[in-house]
Chains A and B, each alone.
Chain A
Amino acid sequence: MITRPATYWTVLFISLQERLVYRGEFAMSTLMRFLPIITQIFLWQAIFSAIEVERGSETIAGYTFHGMIAYYLLTTISRAFSSMPGLASGIARDIRDGTVKKFLIQPIDMVSFLLVRRLAHKLVYYMVALGPFALVFFLFRGFFEGWPEPHVFAGFVLSLLLAFLLGFFLEATLGMIGFWFLEVTSLMFVYMLLNFFFSGHMFPIDLLPGIWGDLVRLLPLQYLAYFPAAVFLGRVSGPALAAGLATQFAWVVFFAVAARVAFHFGVRRYSGFGG
């Protein structure tokens, strides 16, 4: 469906204003997300100490303590791009209470509209989170081995942008399941759980042994947290970097199509709930 770019510019502009209405609440929730960083650092410190005492080794799957903290901090950046709080549940709620009708009546594409709204959400988030992020990375600068090569950094930025798109289309597809099941809370719970473990947010996925590691590498979830961090740290380079980015892009296309197909078929069986 072709809609003028000016329309989406207006959607972006209005969404930005909307996000800024509850600025106090938004700033608070943004800052609260930095708290787990401290607990994670303590957790990894305890794990590395225990392993050193037991095995006399200072690394886990090639990660030193410093490397692990650097990895963890980088995944917080990946997730700042790829996490989509309330997207799938919001779509399912709109289907259940009938708000989705607006997109069937008005000449505007729902998926694009939601994408632009999410973009506004993220822009405001970065505006609020930029300071705290800069501070955290400044305080932990000693955990990094310096800046990566420009082409690696460019790969990192590209993987972050693709992580945003992948996170959006993946959750939008899950939200569209609301056309069939109305309530997707449990499904989202399972997804969040899988995401937490297999995206590389909880630990780097190279820690997973044998077949489990192979299986997780087949899933798109790693591109939401692990992959951009691994690119920055130089764990994925050369042809593997190009192949990784291409696969990430392919997953974006896959879920962008899936979200639209789900919308197309979902609308057909839609009963127009909620009066």
Chain B
Amino acid sequence: MAVIETDQLAKSYRVYRKKEGLGASLAGLFRREYREVEAVRGIDLRVEEGEFVAFLGPNGAGKTTTLKLLSGVITPTAGTARVLGHVPWRRENAYRRRFALVMGQKNQLWWDLPAAESFRLHQEIYCIERDRFGQTCHELCEMLGVEHLLGQPVRELSLGERMRMELIAALLHSPEVLFLDEPTIGLDVVAQHTIQQFLREYQRLRRVTILLTSHYMRDVAALCRRVVIIAAGRIIYDGPLDGITGHFSGQKIVSLQLADGEMPTGLERLGEVLESRPPKVRICVPRGEVTRVLTHIFAHCAVQDVSVEDPPLDAVIAEVFSRS
């Protein structure tokens, strides 16, 4: 059975359109122009139990809006959704005890008190038995290496340490579904790696269903096999991570190591020259042209080494985002 299922899920907002200048501000006191922003336009999504799905898209594509809809923070304009059999925006306690939402940019812990106090409150809010709470809390703290920080006020923790505490707070009630909205935003490489490792290990042990949004392809590559790309409120790709390049990029990168270090002429007619520092040359060529281009190069240059690769995933994603 699908854990998350949406059918033509849509959400639009009415936003105030303010023109520039003081005059427009004054006019806005009497008459305002609004426009309808369709943040999510009919999303059909099905996520099975235990899947770790990355939700990618440029800023404003509708990722966070979708997570807010699935966690019941907002009500849709149209369409339906069921998570663990519940309609999220009914906000039933039975549902709220079964999922968690972690937002990288939002702090849910009590700022002036040690994280242990927030954890204790979560124990009560989620009705977690004392023994189970102690065991889960200990396990999570150990996995994330923060046991020694439990007594320190949250405001005195580093961003990375705080994020780890946020994750623990969200997981204390052992949610079956976890929504992660940019959990590694602003973190350094080491902290990102720690969180990635933790999430991978936690998901492996608990088989929890996770929907992750992140702008860091490193997160996605490390954690998710399935990727959903959303642009302008619509899903434009839903498939394996390694299928993205084939789906969106009609290009291949041909890297050459020339034997004589002399730059051959007419390369730019074969494709886009990405690097030209003889003896190293890199050309981006249409996928279907690779054989023809290589034949041409071998006929005209002395080549020591050659490789043909897909463009880097980051570049493909960036291109998809900019096109959308």
Chain A residues close to B by CB (< 8 Å): 1, 3-4, 6-7, 9-11, 14, 17-18, 21-22, 98-99, 101-102, 104-108, 268, 270-272, 274-275
Given contacts A105-B71, A272-B68, contact A14 B91 (CB under 8 A): no
Given contacts A272-B73, A272-B74, A275-B181, contact A105 B117 (CB under 8 A): no
Q: How far is the CA of A222 from the CA of B127 in the complex (A)?
A: 41
- Contacting residues, chain B, for A10 (C-beta < 8 A): 120-121, 123-124
Known: A107-B96, A270-B73. 18 other contacts (CB 8 A): A3-B125, A7-B121, A10-B123, A11-B124, A14-B110, A14-B120, A18-B112, A21-B112, A22-B112, A101-B73, A101-B101, A105-B71, A105-B96, A107-B93, A107-B97, A271-B74, A275-B105, A275-B181
Q: How far is the CA of A98 from the CA of B71 in the complex (A)?
A: 14
- Contacting residues, chain A, for B73 (C-beta < 8 A): 101, 104-105, 270, 272
Given contacts A18-B113, A275-B64, A275-B105, contact A106 B96 (CB under 8 A): yes
Q: Which B94-114 residues sit within 8 Å CB-CB of chain A?
A: 96-97, 100-101, 103, 105-106, 108, 110, 112-113
Q: How far is the CA of A274 from the CA of B68 in the complex (A)?
A: 11
Q: How far is the CA of A22 from the CA of B105 in the complex (A)?
A: 26
Chief secondary structure at chain B's binding surface: mixed
Q: How far is the CA of A104 from the CA of B110 in the complex (A)?
A: 17
0 or 1 for each of B62-93: is its CB under 8 Å from A? (1 = yes): 00110010011111000000000000000101
- Contacting residues, chain B, for A102 (C-beta < 8 A): 108
- Contacting residues, chain A, for B125 (C-beta < 8 A): 3, 7, 106-108
Closest 8 CB pairs of A and B: A107-B93, A7-B124, A107-B96, A10-B124, A272-B68, A21-B112, A272-B73, A272-B74
> Which of chain A's residues has its CB closest to B92's CB?
A107
- Contacting residues, chain A, for B97 (C-beta < 8 A): 107
Least CB distance, A260 to chain B, in whole angstroms: 14
Q: How far is the CA of A22 from the CA of B153 in the complex (A)?
A: 13
Least CB distance, B9 to chain A, in whole angstroms: 15
Least CB distance, A182 to chain B, in whole angstroms: 11
Question: Are the C-beta atoms of A98 and B106 separated by less than 8 Å?
Answer: yes
> Which of chain B's residues has its CB closest to A99's CB?
B106
Question: Are the C-beta atoms of A104 and B72 separated by less than 8 Å?
Answer: yes
Our pick among A14, A98, A107 for the contact of B126 (Cβ within 8 Å) is: A107
Q: How far is the CA of A17 from the CA of B153 in the complex (A)?
A: 12
Our pick among A4, A11, A17, A272 for the contact of B127 (Cβ within 8 Å) is: A4
Least CB distance, A134 to chain B, in whole angstroms: 29
Question: Are the C-beta atoms of B13 and A271 separated by less than 8 Å?
Answer: yes
- Contacting residues, chain A, for B124 (C-beta < 8 A): 4, 6-7, 9-11
Question: Are the C-beta atoms of B96 and A14 separated by less than 8 Å?
Answer: no
- Residue pairs across A and B with Cβ atoms less than 8 A apart, 7 shown, are A4-B127, A7-B121, A102-B108, A104-B72, A272-B65, A275-B105, A275-B181
Question: Are the C-beta atoms of B13 and A105 separated by less than 8 Å?
Answer: no
- Contacting residues, chain B, for A275 (C-beta < 8 A): 64, 103, 105-106, 181
Least CB distance, A2 to chain B, in whole angstroms: 8
Question: Are the C-beta atoms of B101 and A105 separated by less than 8 Å?
Answer: yes
> Which of chain A's residues has its CB closest to B104's CB?
A275
- Contacting residues, chain B, for A9 (C-beta < 8 A): 124
Candidate in B68, B72, B118 with the most chain A CB atoms within 10 angstroms:
B68
- Contacting residues, chain A, for B181 (C-beta < 8 A): 275
> Which of chain B's residues has its CB closest to A3's CB?
B125
Given contacts A6-B124, A21-B112, A106-B125, contact A1 B93 (CB under 8 A): yes
Candidate in B71, B93, B120, B153 with the most chain A CB atoms within 10 angstroms:
B93
Least CB distance, B105 to chain A, in whole angstroms: 5
> Which of chain A's residues has its CB closest to B100's CB?
A105
Q: How far is the CA of A51 from the CA of B65 in the complex (A)?
A: 66
Q: How far is the CA of A121 from the CA of B65 in the complex (A)?
A: 35
Question: Are the C-beta atoms of A11 and B121 separated by less than 8 Å?
Answer: yes
- Contacting residues, chain A, for B105 (C-beta < 8 A): 274-275
